[in-house]
Chain A
Amino acid sequence: MRITRYAAAFAAIGVVLTGCSSEAGNQAEQQTGNTVAVETETSFEPGTTMAELAEAGTMTVGTKFDQPGFGLLNPNTKAPEGFDVEIAKLIAAQLGIAPEDITWTETVSANREPFLMNGQVDMVAATYTINDDRKQKIDFAGPYYEAGQDIMVAAGNPLGIEGPDDLAGKRVCSVEGSTPAENIRTNYPEAQLTLFDVYSKCADALTNGQVDAVTTDNVILTGLVAGNPDGFELVGNPFTKEPYGIGVPKGDDAFRAFINDTLEEAFDNGDWADAWDRTAGAISGTEAPEPPAVDRY
């Protein structure tokens, strides 16, 4: 009798699980169902990175696996999904490489430069802010998106916070050791910082009214707002500039120029806006912004 009861319980769990996975699977199909046509006729100058990759028919791309809207691993397909991923697919398509022939490697903030310098990845598309420090070690194509530090408040914005200057005397939440927290500490010292170790705790604290605002890159906040649209809202007034670029190995100027050309083409023909609408735009419910100007330094 006891055994059958256990069996029934397992069966019930199984039904629930398969129900979930098939739903997620359908979603994944919808997401990948609308990608850019892969170039079939490619010709590149021999010896360039493009020629090598096109010849190999495969490439390795570093991206984030934990950033909703930009690069988030789908546990069912074992592939990441998001805006960064779509941009990488656009570039691969120009090289004649189909999305399923791309090898995705997880890169986190701390290991992106070493991965490129050691040749473990061919390029990095991972909410990768272009800055001069990093340009010492690697090169950047793009930017293909401009993020910025923004503020998230409780729905209805009860304290009327419109920008960083309104944070004086307010309890502001961010993550210990992060650049946004450092920015508040040095440039807006009158704000009272509350620092957790992850942003989800900031969201909990905001829900409970233990803090008045949460601040970090707008793309992260967008993900949090999407998780609780009735509880939170974005102030929508970015006060720093975080241009996201494609990281390539230092000195590969031909590859960088090729990616810049590809990005500009995607800006113009609508592929870029289309990629936005399918990923980050679908999560945040925002229209594709004006594409940034590519920086050919």
Chain B
Amino acid sequence: MLDDTDRRILRQYQAEPGAPVADLAARAGVTPSTWGRRLERMERAGVIEGLEAVIDWRALGYEITVSLRFTLDKTVPRAFEDFLEAARAIPEVLELQTFVGRVDVRLLLLARDMGHYQRLYREKILTLPHIVDIDALMHIAQIKNEDRLPL
């Protein structure tokens, strides 16, 4: 479905989506009109889902980021649905993922500081339904965060 030109375009686009179209098209070796036409086609095909602003939560005072990893009680038929529904209601939850593996669900939680984290943990996290086990990974440093696909 995609050819080499599409891949070249996607590589340049995901590397620097905010750059001027003329520059990006030149880097991909196509004309701006080809660039536009191909992007539009890939959007229609659902290959490109959208463009989003990246928010730096630290600049908004959220100093703490934690991966909370849960094992749920799978003997309860609606354990996942109930858990996810309740987790969605916590504004500080930024991501929810479900897995096959030792971990059933991961939540990415933001907090302003350790005191705030402790309050959230006790009042909002520990009260989520059907939890069997939790562990927490406190994020210290982001080494690579590109969210790019190796095209």
- Do A and B come together as binding partners? no
